[in-house]
Amino acid sequence: MSRRRRARSAFACLWVAALALRSGAAPEPYRDAARLFAFDGNEALAGWKTTGNVTIDAAKGREGKGGALKVGSGGVALLKLRDTDGAGKVELWVYDDGTRPENAKASRIGPRWGLVQSDGKLLAAGILYASYLGGAEGYTATASDGKDWFNQLFWLGVNRAPAGWHKWTFDFDAEDGLQVLHNDREVNAVDSAKTGLRGFNAVAIWGDNGPGNPQTIWVDDLSVTLGGPVKIVPAGEADPYDAKTLAADASLKRLVPVYTRDNAPATPKIEDLPLKQSVAQYGITWTFAQPARVGQFLNGDWYVVGPVTIQAIAPRPLYGAEIPKRQLDPLEKERPESQRVRNGFMLNPPARMKVAYDSGVRNWFDPALVQKLPVAMRPGDSLVSTISMPKGLVLHAQLRNKIERGEGDSSPIRTAAVLTCVAQPLPPDAFRPAFCDRGPKIYLARNLKRELLPAAAATPSLPNVAQYVRFTQRPWVGTCFFGFEEPVENMPQYGLEYGRVVGLSALLLCTDLTPGQKEPLLVNFVQIGIDLGGMIRAGHPGWTSWGGHGSGRKLPIILAGLLLGDDQLAHINQSFPKVSFGEDEQTAYGEGWTGAKVVFTGHSGIDAATGAGRSRGNGWGPYEHTPPSQWKEGQNTSESYRRCCTSVGWVAQALALRLLHAEPAWHHDAFFDYVDRWMYEDDSAFVKTIKAATGRDHDKEWARQGQAWDAFINEMWARHRPSLPARTNGWRQPHDDTYYRTALERLQP
């Protein structure tokens, strides 16, 4: 388009805006018309604040006609657009001639262009150089205060080549936030919530600030369209498990009776159940097409006597274009719009690593499983509904880590609840049937063998029991792996913390707390075991050893089986010998280089189904039979995971199982002897040997043997482990190591 035609276009925009204002309606999405800036003469700089090397180049117009704004080394050109910050769109063409410094890995601030907020904060795209940036090849965006340009960076993945004119668009929507485009293609890397901007009031171009071989850039055809106030509210940070939140949680104050066969509750009649149009739990409301009879399981989860149709769910499931643009994370933007979902649900989730709750789930999201309302439920059905994490919200997870949507491996799911359809009323002491077991079995609390729980004296560091009641209260609906789809407000996010929460909860149940103090935690813990066991019964392959990810699932299943008298669950890996559990796959009897007769079998352990060691192409398989002098990168990785992410999370589990005398049910003695080794083997000399041979320093408090990360576990171990019948030096004694030697022979590449 010629400059004369662009001028006509600008006049047309102004005329349309005038008509709109006269009629009382503002054009969308912005209320003002575009202002066009063509740099054809020095008068074009009227209104601009310039410093340093800023001029008009009369022969550099984008279409070979007219001029362009020329910004050289140290130059700055700033155009104030209004007094207050607001929404709007800025488009400009930038000429990048491809100039590069001699050392493209040295930190250097090259040319930049972008938006400025009234307090000086800004978002600019441009050319930045550092050892971790590819400034010679591509562009970077920076959210800055105008001083520390490297404070918040977004590597854009956009090539600088070919040299020439490139169109840049900064589209700041009042409700959807900031979107950056390069040559009319969205750049997904810029996260609006991370920029810290609440709008803009100026546009600026900054010249190269680096020494030697400075780069000049040219800017032309700048277009500015201003909008109204920005309405985005930052999500902030929250801890769903802190003391203040726990104190305000009314659900934790719910009375959980200790039902036995002597005080077994009666089963209500159908007419005794309330007739309700809807029920709600954990922020999720299910509305029925017609009022239905409802009841609650012992743990507070709802059931509905069916058949029944779910007409609505709140928060409302969102699909495709219904999801605000500002809420899309980079992974979702790569998906077709038709495959996007938030606040999703699944009727009868499969016992597989496939879910459809949220299109931000990594690896396991299957759009073919996405469902929409209404939902017809029949007796035996389970409905798992979720609330998605909004962008920008940072949630504290159980015991460790912070989770934020779109960041690394974080789950995009905030919470989940389960609604079950039954054929008839159930007694008040009924546990909810496993949510993905289609042969649902109803267990009753009156049948719990509470006499199996020991009453070991609690030590001074006894945790806040209410916190562990909260940790285990909401359904642990994670059927997948790596925590990619685990609701943050429901369950631990990493296998190490999964094992720690499970171990500490079981250990609390083995103390001298009163039956009334134990019961809420006992009910929750048994329910978790029922759900995990139901996954296995329905065909789930288990939780393989992969660093720390596979820990914590076996103990709840075994404890639930022992207490409920269900032998299949109590002896789960005898009932299902090919199912994977991380603790078992990562421990085995074998000759270790330290002299121990039980070893850690590596980051990826031994496959339960085949008995073969797993290397996964990285040398992550069994390694402790070799000295550190022979270790390569994969073996060093395994030793790091042995110390950081597995062993410390197993101590409470092993102690609780020994207090319960449940070693035969566990059916993998190497696990117990390995934990004894971890707690009793002096590794002082060994960490020095490792450092001398590999350069890796494991002499850190958190990485040393002889301890768990939780004071209560260490105290309970010191007080109770020595007095238990099992010998504490089994890790020094010879054992049949055929399993380990066979795993080495079958080692998978």
Mean pLDDT along residues 92-96: 97
The 10 Å CB-count burial string (b at 16+, else e) for 422-443 is beebbbbbbbbbbbbbeebeeb
The whole-number pLDDT of residue 194 equals 84
Tell me the average pLDDT across 642-646: 98
pLDDT at 542 over 70: yes
pLDDT at residue 702, rounded to an integer: 96
Name the more confident of 113 and 196: 113
Q: Tell me, yes or no, whether 581 lies in a domain.
A: no
- Of 107-121, 318-332, 659-673, give the lowest mean pLDDT range: 318-332
Regarding whether 165 and 262 lie in a shared domain, the answer is: no
Cα angle, residue 193 at apex, residues 190 and 199 outer, rounded to 5°: 95
User: What pLDDT, on the 0 to 100 scale, is given for residue 326?
Assistant: 84
Please state the rounded mean pLDDT for residues 254-262. 95
| Residue 377 shares a structural domain with residue 463 | yes
Answer yes or no: do 508 and 644 share one domain. Answer: no
pLDDT value of position 30? 52
- pLDDT tier at 330 (50, 70, 90 boundaries)? confident
- Are 64 and 171 members of one domain? yes
The answer to whether position 444 is within a domain reads no
Cross-strand bridge partners of residue 222: 37
Question: What backbone torsions phi and psi does residue 33 show, to the nearest 5 degrees?
Answer: -80, 165
Which backbone phi and psi does 248 adopt, to 5 degrees?
-90, -5
Last residue within a domain, chosen from 197, 226, 255: 226
Both 216 and 248 in one domain: the answer is no
Query: What pairs with residue 126 in β-bridges?
Result: 112, 140
CB 14 within 8 A of CB 33: yes
- Note the pLDDT tens digit of each residue in 692-722: 999 999 999 999 999 999 999 999 999 999 9
Report whether pLDDT(679) > 50: yes
3-class state of residue 263 by DSSP: helix
Range from 10-24, 42-56, 222-236, 253-267 carrying the lowest mean pLDDT: 10-24
Q: Above 60 in pLDDT, residue 31?
A: no
| pLDDT band per the 50, 70, 90 thresholds, residue 23 | very low
pTM of the model: 0.86
- 467 lies in the same domain as 402: yes
* Least confident among 225-234, 501-510, 664-673: 225-234
Instruction: Look at residue 8 and tell me whether its pLDDT is greater than 90.
Output: no
pLDDT number for residue 22: 31
Owning domain of residue 193: 3-226
Average pLDDT, the chain: 93
**Total domains present in the chain:** 3
Domain end, chosen from 547, 575, 603, is at 575
**Residue 11: pLDDT above 50?**
no
Beta-bridged to residue 391, according to DSSP, are none
| Mean pLDDT score, 206-234 | 92
Neighbours of 36 (CB within 10 A): 17
> Residue 231 domain-assigned?
no
pLDDT score at 161: 95
Tell whether the model's pLDDT for residue 20 goes beyond 50.
no
Assess whether pLDDT exceeds 60 at residue 112: yes
10 Å CB burial of residue 684 (0-12, 13-18, 19+) is exposed
Phi/psi of residue 465, nearest 5 degrees: -60, -35
If asked whether residues 138 and 19 sit together in one domain, one would say yes
Q: Using a pLDDT cut of 90, give the percent of the chain over it.
A: 88
Q: Which of 80, 55, 62, 58 is nearest to 6 (CA)?
A: 62
Average pLDDT over residues 48-56: 96
Cβ 629 vs Cβ 620: under 8 Å: no
Q: How far is CA 483 from CA 314, 397, 435, 491, 580, in A?
A: 24, 11, 18, 9, 16
Q: What is the token pair recorded at 375?
A: 């939902």
Task: Find the mean pLDDT for residues 561-574.
Answer: 98
Q: Provide the CATH number for the domain around residue 215.
A: 2.60.120.200
Whether residues 186 and 321 fall in one domain? no
Q: What is the mean predicted confidence (pLDDT) over 388-413? A: 94
Interval 571-627: pLDDT, tens: 999 999 999 999 999 999 999 999 999 999 999 999 999 999 999 999 999 999 999
pLDDT of residue 10 exceeding 60, the answer is: no
> Based on the domain organization, do 366 and 411 belong to the same domain?
yes
Please report the pLDDT score of residue 212 as a whole number.
84
Is residue 308 in a domain? yes
- Residue 665: inside a domain, yes or no? no
Same domain, 295 and 380: yes
Residues 6+ apart with CB under 8 A from 127: 96, 110, 111, 112, 135, 139, 140, 160, 208, 215
| Alpha carbons 638 and 631: distance in angstroms, whole number | 10
Identify the sign of the CA torsion 25, 27, 30, 34: negative
Does one domain contain both 613 and 546?
A: no
pLDDT band at residue 439 under the 50/70/90 scheme: confident
Instruction: Please check whether residue 104 lies inside any domain of the structure.
Output: yes
- Kindly state whether residue 615 falls inside one of the protein's structural domains: yes
Q: What is the mean pLDDT of residues 428-444?
A: 94
pLDDT digits (tens, 9 = 90+) for 625-639: 999 999 999 999 999
Helix intervals (H) in 170-322: 192-195, 243-248
User: Domain end: 575, 608, 640, which one?
Assistant: 575
Q: Which of 149, 129, 145 is nearest to 137 (CA)?
A: 129
Q: Percentage of the chain with pLDDT > 70?
A: 96
DSSP string of 58-95, one letter each residue: TT--TTSSS-EEEE-TT-EEEEE--SS-B-EEEEEEEE
What pLDDT sits at residue 32? 67
pLDDT recorded at residue 33: 81
Q: What is the mean pLDDT of residues 457-462?
A: 98
Reported as a pLDDT band with limits 50, 70 and 90, residue 438 is confident
Would you say residue 719 lies in a domain?
yes
| Residue 737: predicted pLDDT | 97
Do 287 and 429 lie in a common domain? yes
